[in-house]
Amino acid sequence: MCDLPRKKLCTERPPNLLPSLSGSIERQRENAGTASFGNSKNSCNVLGHLENLFTSAIKSAYPSVTNVLAQLQVSKHADYQCNDAMALAKTLKKNPREVGDNILKNVAPSPLISKLELSGPGFINITLSQNFMKQQVTNIVLNGVTPPPTTPLRVVVDFSSPNIAKEMHVGHLRSTIIGDSISRLMEFLGHDVLRLNHLGDWGTQFGMLIAHLEDRFPDFASKPPPISDLQTFYKESKKRFDEDEEFKKRAYQAVVKLQAHEPVHIKGWQEICEISKREFSKVYERLQVKIVDRGESFYQSRMEDVVKILNGGGMLEEDEGRKVMFAEGADIPLTIVKSDGGFTYDTSDMACIKHRIVEEKADWLVYVTDAGQAQHFKSLFACAKRAGIYDAKKTRIDHVTFGVVLGEDRKKFKTRSGDTVRLVDLLDEGLQRSEEKLREKERDKVLTPEEFTKAKNAVAYGCIKYADLSHDRSRDYVFSFDRMLDFRGNTAAYLLYALTRIRSIARTACVSREEIVTEAQKQPIELEHEKEWKLARALLKLPDVLVKITEDLCLHTLCEYLFEVSAVFTEFYDNCYCVEKNSEGKIVKINLNRLMLCEATAMVMEKCFAILGIDTVEKM
Ligand code: ARG
């Protein structure tokens, strides 16, 4: 396995260069180097590359300064600026302008930079090379949007993870959307991603479900039970469990038999899991989410092993009949063995983290759940560390949390009757609303029925996903079809439409993608107009945006970026003719260079949509 690039793996934002120069985290932006130039298949993360250059410059200018990490800002006077001289001068008790000058002199020559200038009290203004930028934008047209250079890692993303026999709720929807998008990003960057569905498919609730199954469908072992609504079935069995002592006893016995792997009980359990999974897969199919089922039951024998290890290591303590585990950094202990000898959610996660690190050989674990589970995971990671299973220097772990989904009344998202909203119903309503919206805009009059259906689906699922991903995931968010289907503002409806309009420019001019590519092969894109240059800079920011997301796993930055690209494109389009028409509407001139820019913009936007898991359409 590769040597672990810790620099990219730290979960916390790296500390700023100063004031403390003695910190221990030293992050280099790996590979953000010249390997990405010319015709390499990787794109260049410009900012990362520049920060590396300046970090090296500071190091050679002041070798005594360790743990340096230059951070650059977007500049009003140039493209970027480096302000690190100020803070550094303070620490070194030197003149900041002198320090700035010294750093500047130590910046290695780079094809990215056309000019470096010292200004004011010690700022260094950086102007990017036009030639370099032109070549990079042209590369997008020629080679597609390629990822920045990355060291491939084995990443396990644990997401969605609903519970068998219970309805998949909006919390699971958030986990599904966010986890899928994180996986798509990692896959694009070239990581080896294992997407896991940690289904709640084991535990005491199966006792009552099996006991109820025996009564309702006595021949379930030979004939699959025709349960159409597992949720109601669950409620019925729960009611009996709560009210009927006799039933309760049988439920407990059923659990014991299930755990002893009695064939009939295993069969009943399998039937129930199958019915549930069929329901879940309908949601995954509609959302085009790929995921591998590996529920809690998978870890049964591994739970036994891990309990032995923890017990043997003297790490478990008695607490009112339970066996619990404490660790430094765990606010609450994990319950490893219940007083009746059974295992818990904590036990399965302990066995699971070991399996993922040791057997799956993961370099990076990602868990996507609601923020309500923060304490559970904090304790889990602390205990895994204490048990010697997890070492933060070797494995990166992120608990990706998210807030609650609220209804338009700002209360927890529920149906009118107060029930949890079924996801399939929610998706159906999305489709219906999307159709209404498109009809209202009279799209049915211009699109063929096939195009209309495509647009309807893309808008419905796209809007639901985008509304979730465009909000800072740590906050609660208000679920509103009206808002997400608005054709103005930062919504999928608007952005998908903006993309179709960009795509239609070349189409109206009857210029094919092949012709645009041929043109790009002949000569790089020209960036003469100020707005062309601005658009190019925006397009080339994508690799940096993606690298930043790998640090905090906050996808709303990608949505903000997508919105920014569409806004900058509009500015360009309003100021620069791509296709000129005469008073009769006849095309008199086609600017192929600008059509190349349109093509590059569309490709960047499509890549963003792909990472967000949103389908795009040619027409809508
Ligand atoms: N099934 C759990 C729930 O619905 C989520 C599981 C998350 N993953 C894990 N490894 N604990 O809340």
pTM summary value? 0.92
How much distance in Å is there from the Cα of 162 to the middle of ligand 1? 7
pLDDT over 90 percentage in the chain: 84
Q: Is the CB of 161 under 6 A from ligand 1?
A: yes
According to the model, what pLDDT value does residue 226 have?
A: 86
Q: Give 83's pLDDT tier (boundaries 50, 70, 90).
A: very high
Among candidate residues 517, 532, 516, 539, the one with its CA nearest the CA of residue 590: 516
> Does the structure show a pLDDT above 70 at 9?
no
How much distance in Å is there from the Cα of 559 to the middle of ligand 1? 27
According to the model, what pLDDT value does residue 31 have?
A: 42
Once rounded to an integer, what is the mean pLDDT over residues 290-308?
A: 97
26 or 326, which is more confident: 326
According to the model, what pLDDT value does residue 2 have?
A: 34
Among candidate residues 45, 78, 177, 145, the one with its CA nearest the CA of residue 464: 177
C-alpha 163, offset from chain centre: 22
Torsion angles phi and psi, residue 194, rounded to 5 = -110, 115
Mean pLDDT, the chain, whole residue set: 91
Ligand 1 atom 8: the closest Cα is on which residue? 198
Six-digit token string for 295: 């529920």
pLDDT over 70 percentage in the chain: 94
How much distance in Å is there from the Cα of 200 to the middle of ligand 1? 7
CA distance 141 to 594: 12
Q: Give 217's pLDDT tier (boundaries 50, 70, 90).
A: very high
342-394 confidence digits (pLDDT tens): 899 999 999 999 999 999 999 999 999 999 999 999 999 999 999 999 999 99
How much distance in Å is there from the Cα of 383 to the middle of ligand 1? 18
CA distance 115 to 295: 56
According to the model, what pLDDT value does residue 457 have?
A: 97
* Coil vs helix vs strand at 593: helix
Residues of the chain with CATH 1.10.730.10: 423-612
Once rounded to an integer, what is the mean pLDDT over residues 257-268?
A: 93
CA distances from 416 to 404, 432, 479 (A): 18, 18, 14
* Coil vs helix vs strand at 169: coil
* 423-612 is a CATH 1.10.730.10 domain: yes
How much distance in Å is there from the Cα of 381 to the middle of ligand 1? 15
Residues of the chain with CATH 3.40.50.620: 154-200+295-402
Quick one: DSSP state of residue 371?
G
256 or 174, which is more confident: 174
38 or 379, which is more confident: 379
**One-letter identity of residue 518:** T
Atom of ligand 1 nearest to the CA of 349: 10
According to the model, what pLDDT value does residue 402 have?
A: 97
Q: Give 229's pLDDT tier (boundaries 50, 70, 90).
A: confident
Atom of ligand 1 nearest to the CA of 373: 12
Q: Is the CB of 369 under 6 A from ligand 1?
A: yes
Q: Is the CB of 490 under 6 A from ligand 1?
A: no
How much distance in Å is there from the Cα of 429 to the middle of ligand 1? 27
Q: Is the CB of 198 under 6 A from ligand 1?
A: yes
According to the model, what pLDDT value does residue 420 have?
A: 81
Six-digit token string for 129: 């090379």
27 or 135, which is more confident: 135
Is 136:540 a contact under the CB 8 Å cutoff?
Answer: yes
Six-digit token string for 550: 């790998």
* Coil vs helix vs strand at 367: strand
How much distance in Å is there from the Cα of 366 to the middle of ligand 1? 12
CA distance 358 to 363: 10
Q: Which of 156, 158, 160, 161 to mutate to test the pocket of ligand 1 (most atoms within 8 A of CB)?
A: 161
> Quick one: which H or E segment has residue 124?
strand 123-128
Atom of ligand 1 nearest to the CA of 199: 1
End-to-end CA distance of the chain: 47
Surface-to-core class of residue 322, CB atoms within 10 Å of its CB (0-12 exposed, 13-18 middle, 19+ buried): middle
Interhelix angle for 263-287 vs 205-216, to 10°?
100
According to the model, what pLDDT value does residue 139 have?
A: 97
Ligand 1 atom 6: the closest Cα is on which residue? 161
How much distance in Å is there from the Cα of 18 to the middle of ligand 1? 40
Six-digit token string for 394: 């070797």
Among candidate residues 601, 608, 612, 614, the one with its CA nearest the CA of residue 501: 601
Ligand 1 atom 4: the closest Cα is on which residue? 162
How much distance in Å is there from the Cα of 407 to the middle of ligand 1? 23
Among candidate residues 532, 470, 581, the one with its CA nearest the CA of residue 174: 470
Q: Which of 198, 360, 390, 401 to mutate to test the pocket of ligand 1 (most atoms within 8 A of CB)?
A: 198
CA distance 467 to 559: 10
Give the list of residues 6+ apart from residue 328 with CB closer than 8 angstroms, or none.
Answer: 382, 386
Q: Is the CB of 367 under 6 A from ligand 1?
A: yes
CA distance 571 to 567: 6
According to the model, what pLDDT value does residue 348 have?
A: 97
Q: Which of 369, 383, 397, 402 to mutate to test the pocket of ligand 1 (most atoms within 8 A of CB)?
A: 369
CA distance 548 to 554: 9
CA distance 302 to 249: 28
How much distance in Å is there from the Cα of 542 to the middle of ligand 1? 32
Q: Give 422's pLDDT tier (boundaries 50, 70, 90).
A: confident
According to the model, what pLDDT value does residue 40 have?
A: 65
Once rounded to an integer, what is the mean pLDDT over residues 600-614?
A: 98
> Does the structure show a pLDDT above 80 at 583?
yes
From 269-283, 304-318, 409-423, the region with the lowest mean pLDDT: 409-423
- Specify the length of the chain in residues: 620
Once rounded to an integer, what is the mean pLDDT over residues 534-542?
A: 96
Ligand 1 atom 9: the closest Cα is on which residue? 198
C-alpha 302, offset from chain centre: 29
124-157 confidence digits (pLDDT tens): 999 999 999 999 999 999 999 999 999 999 999 9
292-293 vs 72-74, strand pairing mode: unpaired
Once rounded to an integer, what is the mean pLDDT over residues 381-408?
A: 97
Once rounded to an integer, what is the mean pLDDT over residues 231-240?
A: 93
Q: What is the CATH number of domain 18-143?
A: 3.30.1360.70
Among candidate residues 342, 305, 304, the one with its CA nearest the CA of residue 322: 342
Ligand 1 atom 5: the closest Cα is on which residue? 161
Task: Give the helix ranges, DSSP H, for 2-111.
Answer: 6-9, 46-61, 84-92, 96-105
* 154-200+295-402 is a CATH 3.20.20.70 domain: no
Residues of the chain with CATH 3.30.1360.70: 18-143
CA distance 326 to 313: 13
According to the model, what pLDDT value does residue 1 have?
A: 32
Q: Is the CB of 352 under 6 A from ligand 1?
A: yes
Phi-psi region of 20 (alpha: psi -120 to 50; beta: other; left: phi over 0): beta
